Amino acid sequence: MKTHVVKENSMLRQKDMIAEHFRELARAKESGRKVVYTFVPGNLTELLLAFDCLPVHPEINALQSGMRKLSGEYIAEAERHGHSEDVCTYVKCDIGMLLKGNIGPTGEKLPEPDLLLLSYTGCFTFMKWFELLRERYKCPVAMLHVPYQADGTLEPSMIEYVVEQLRRELIPKLEQITGKRYDEGRLAGFLAASARAEEDLVWVLESAKHRPSPIDAYFGGVYYIGPLFTAFRGTQAAIEYYRELREEVAERMRRGLGPVTPEGELEDERFRLVVEGPPNWTHFREFWKMFYDERAVVVASTYTKVGGTYDRGFRHDPNRPLETLAEYCLGCYTNLNLPSRVEMIARYVKEYAADGFLVNSVKSCNSFSAGQLPMLRRIEELTGVPGAFIETDLVDPRYFSAANVKNRLESYFQMLAQRAPAARAEALAP
């Protein structure tokens, strides 16, 4: 493995944006800005910006700790304080980080929250997580009950139900902690900016339909979704980032180039994959290199939809501010039922001309992992494309076996290579 990590310009810009956000958080108390702890799925960034609040995302803190090789220490600290090995490792990492001083990635202490905002309840663990934070911080809590899409459809009554909670539960609390009045016109402005950035993100993700794909939509996609899924949606910075990213990807496509990876540019694309499930963060580069070594490119992934299913047509609508926020919360990937997820992955396999699809089942994340084996079998039936199944974890280094993962992937790629001539002949047959 090379010691020098190769990065695209957009990756470097994103890193600078996020570092500046953490610096701003460190100065929040001096500047008088209120801080809201919230989660990525169903986050209401535009509404928070309308009240001039700064968001903190605990699961982002955890994944960054994993990438910085600190999560093992934080998880051990949480377990010493009585948290079970079976608890979501994002939770234990965040709690351990809190217990050890809550130091962010820039080396500065994160501010305590003025409000805990849970705007997506499809993951029961999120509720327990915020109970733990509430015990620690003794601050106000706002929790929205977001109906599950059990039958795969969004009913008007579901939207109205969430809008009513926004009006009666969340907005009054934001007014109370900030001393500002709700300004729907200001909110609409942020939503319009979001829609512009969302359009460019979808273009970038769909560029993977091209051969060779100019992007990796799983590992590289982690960087691409960062600004839009966290603190920057609704900002001019996000508009500029996604415009630059789109131009960068368009140029790669024009020149017939593959994606940029930490090991260098991936040349001579061999396998095209769709991936279900989050990445492993503690061994992120090592995990990515296993695909790079096989010249395998991920052309679509479900993880890059966890903060918004924009490629299914959703855009934030400034003409319906609260309704569009409700629809966003309701449309999170992990708020979709299993048939809807199967349909999405099967469509990706076909539209992106994938050779196979991979399920990365994460030990401690029930929101993703529940039902993945039946999903795999059903997708195979619908597409005729073989799937593979591996197991890792989010941020617990104890649950990433590099040798095991590598062996499974190598076996799968060997099978795809043997299958390729027959699959091509079948596709060409009259």
CATH number for the domain harbouring residue 127:
3.40.50
Q: What is the per-residue pLDDT for 428?
A: 41
Domain match, 312 and 395 both: yes
Domain match, 218 and 281 both: yes
Q: What is the per-residue pLDDT for 126?
A: 86
Q: Which own/partner contact pairs does 371-378 have at CB distance under 8 Å and 24+ positions apart?
A: 371/338, 372/276, 372/277, 374/338, 375/276, 375/338, 375/341, 375/342, 375/345, 378/342
User: Which of the residue ranges 5-9, 111-115, 289-293 would you say has the lowest mean pLDDT?
Assistant: 5-9
Is residue 34 a part of any domain in this protein?
yes
**pLDDT tens by residue, 330-359:** 998 989 999 999 999 999 999 999 999 999
Is residue 258 a part of any domain in this protein?
yes
Planar angle of CA 7, 13, 18, nearest 5 degrees: 110
- Among 162, 182, 202, where does a domain finish? 182
Domain match, 42 and 168 both: yes
Supply φ then ψ for residue 359, to 5 degrees.
Answer: -105, 120
* Dist. CA 80–CA 84, nearest whole Å: 9
- The CATH number assigned to the domain holding 383 equals 3.40.50.11900
Q: What is the per-residue pLDDT for 363?
A: 80
C-alpha torsion angle, residues 229, 235, 241, 247 (rounded to 10): 110
- Among 128, 155, 182, where does a domain finish? 182
Mean of pLDDT values over 65-93: 94
Domain count along the chain: 2
* Dist. CA 425–CA 421, nearest whole Å: 6
**pLDDT tens by residue, 380-412:** 999 999 999 999 999 999 999 999 999 999 999
Q: What is the per-residue pLDDT for 422?
A: 59
> Among 116, 138, 114, 136, which Cα is nearest to 127's?
116
Is residue 163 a part of any domain in this protein?
yes
C-alpha torsion angle, residues 178, 183, 188, 194 (rounded to 10): -10
Is residue 23 a part of any domain in this protein?
yes
* Dist. CA 170–CA 53, nearest whole Å: 13
Do 286 and 406 meet the contact criterion of CB atoms below 8 Å apart? no
Domain match, 352 and 415 both: yes
Supply φ then ψ for residue 253, to 5 degrees.
Answer: -65, -45
Is residue 301 a part of any domain in this protein?
yes
- Among 149, 182, 215, where does a domain finish? 182
* Dist. CA 197–CA 47, nearest whole Å: 17
Domain match, 349 and 240 both: yes
Is residue 430 a part of any domain in this protein?
no
Percent of the chain with pLDDT over 70: 96
Domain match, 248 and 148 both: no
Is residue 4 a part of any domain in this protein?
no
**pLDDT tens by residue, 142-173:** 999 999 988 888 999 999 999 999 999 999 99
Task: For residue 52, give every residue at least 6 positions away whose Cβ sits within 8 Å of its Cβ, in sequence order, or none.
Answer: 33, 34, 178, 180
The residue type at 96: G
* Residue spans of beta strands (DSSP E) within 19-156: 35-37, 54-56, 115-118, 141-143
Mean of pLDDT values over 49-66: 95
Do 304 and 224 meet the contact criterion of CB atoms below 8 Å apart? yes
Domain match, 147 and 51 both: yes
Supply φ then ψ for residue 373, to 5 degrees.
Answer: -65, -45
Buried b (16+ CB within 10 A) or exposed e, 20-50: ebbeebbebeeeebbbbbbbbbbbbbbbbbb
Q: What is the per-residue pLDDT for 157?
A: 97
Q: Is a pLDDT exceeding 50 seen at residue 427?
A: no
Domain match, 208 and 157 both: no
Is residue 305 a part of any domain in this protein?
yes
264: domain range? 188-424
Supply φ then ψ for residue 245, to 5 degrees.
Answer: -60, -45
Mean of pLDDT values over 73-97: 93
Domain match, 131 and 217 both: no
Domain match, 210 and 232 both: yes
> How does the average pLDDT of the chain come out, rounded?
93
> Among 11, 37, 14, which Cα is nearest to 25's?
37
Domain match, 67 and 157 both: yes
What tokens does 140 get?
């106000």
Three-state SS for 372-383 is HHHHHHHHHHHH
Helix axes 58-67, 71-80, angle to 10 degrees: 120
Domain match, 194 and 56 both: no
